[in-house]
Amino acid sequence: MTPLVKKFAFRIGAIDKPNARKVHTRIMPRLGGLAIYIAFIGSFLLVLPFIPSGLLSHYDMNLIKSVLVGGTIIVLIGALDDRFELSAKVKLLGQIAAACVVVFVFGVKIDLLNIPFGQSMQPVADWVSIPLTIFWIVGVTNAINLIDGLDGLAAGVSGIAIGTILVMASFMGFEPIILMSSLLLGGILGFLVFNFHPAKIFMGDSGSLFLGFSLATLSMIGFKQVTIVSFVTPLLIIGVPLSDTFFAIVRRWINKRPIFAPDKGHLHHCLRELGFSHRRTVLIIYGVAAFFGGCAIVQSIFVQFHAASWVTFVVISLLMFALQIGAELIGIVDKTRRPLLNFFARIKVKMVAQSRSK
């Protein structure tokens, strides 16, 4: 579908022109997310007649329909933005509408929550679960959109996250998530052939928003019935876009800039400034995403052996430490403020001074 969508994008004027913030230097077609969406929906309709009767319950079908219907709304909003460049408020309203369809039409929401050091899942009241679910879907949807700055970056990171969900769903035997993750991963890999550097087409907001929405929904519903999985797991699965979004908010707050104001301080921008090539930058971030995904799988496996508390504590502590060190090294928040590195430097100076005095 991608070559056909590429021609369609040029025909209707869904193109991306170079500017000061963008890496590419020539006019590029976007709307590539439409190819991923068509492949995803089309393959689902093809395999649907072959699914054994009774394999998917009514609840399972509701989960699948929430992804299909909500995803369709998101793709329409993204496609309109790819062509007409909608305002941020209009796109946000569209994302909220899609999230509300998931929650109110199909009844999919975060109704159980396991705090990191809890022993069992705790029920969540509707007045908490409904806004929490909507916030999660909208937040993750935009997180993927924010990292879509280099050829193949958003598609590859999303593919790694979806692959992580597929592995975990396979361990748990959760058929609807195995099905949806497999189809979506196939669409992503097919598109990545045309999107990896040097890209022939961009996914545009139709792709980044759709992948973000799908990730948010699948990471949430894939484990909501499994009482031994901590809420940390979905955060690890999408650790790269979430951490990049977090540092972007902190960076703009420190520099007294609007939170939604675009800049060139994201992870991929910082790595490029350090001298890494376009392709190597993308591969480095792939590696970080794979590391997060591996941590999610390892943590979920240990949790199944009732070791949730200490495993979660160790994983969170190591990742928080690594994220802070990495952020200071590449200057993703502020190139002059390095509190942790300066702290270690002072300790090193004192140790050297003490050794010399002896």
- Judged against a pLDDT cut of 60, whether residue 223 lies above it is answered with no
Instruction: Kindly report the pTM of this predicted structure.
Output: 0.86
* Mean pLDDT for the stretch of residues 309-315: 67
State pLDDT tens for residues 233-257: 777 888 888 888 888 888 888 888 8
- Judged against a pLDDT cut of 80, whether residue 207 lies above it is answered with yes
Q: Cβ(191)–Cβ(5) under 8 Å?
A: no
What tokens were used for 98?
């899609």
Residue 159 three-state SS? helix
* Mean pLDDT for the stretch of residues 194-219: 92
More confident residue, 128 or 262: 128
Straight-line distance from the first to the last Cα atom of the chain, in angstroms, rounded to the nearest whole number: 72
State pLDDT tens for residues 106-126: 988 876 555 544 445 556 667
Strongest mean pLDDT among 147-161, 293-307, 343-357? 147-161
More confident residue, 282 or 171: 282
* Mean pLDDT for the stretch of residues 288-303: 82
Classify each residue of 306-319 as buried b or exposed e, where b means 16 or more C-beta atoms within 10 Å of its C-beta.
eebeebbeebbeeb
State pLDDT tens for residues 33-90: 999 999 999 999 999 999 887 778 877 888 889 999 999 999 999 999 999 989 989 9
Collect all residues with Cβ–Cβ distance below 8 Å to 151 and sequence separation of at least 6: 23, 24, 195, 196, 197, 198, 199, 278, 282
pLDDT at 306: 56
Helix ranges (H only) for the chain are: 2-12, 33-47, 58-84, 88-100, 126-146, 153-172, 175-195, 204-221, 232-237, 239-254, 267-273, 278-304, 308-330, 339-357
% of residues, the chain, pLDDT over 90: 38
Residue 145 marked as a ligand binder: yes
Look up tokens 């484990």; give the residue: 223
pLDDT at 40: 96
Sorting pLDDT into bands at 50, 70 and 90, what band is 226? very low
Strongest mean pLDDT among 12-21, 155-164, 343-352? 155-164
User: How high does pLDDT run on average in the chain?
Assistant: 84
Sorting pLDDT into bands at 50, 70 and 90, what band is 96? very high
Domain boundaries, the chain: 2-357
- Judged against a pLDDT cut of 50, whether residue 225 lies above it is answered with no
Residue 205 marked as a ligand binder: yes
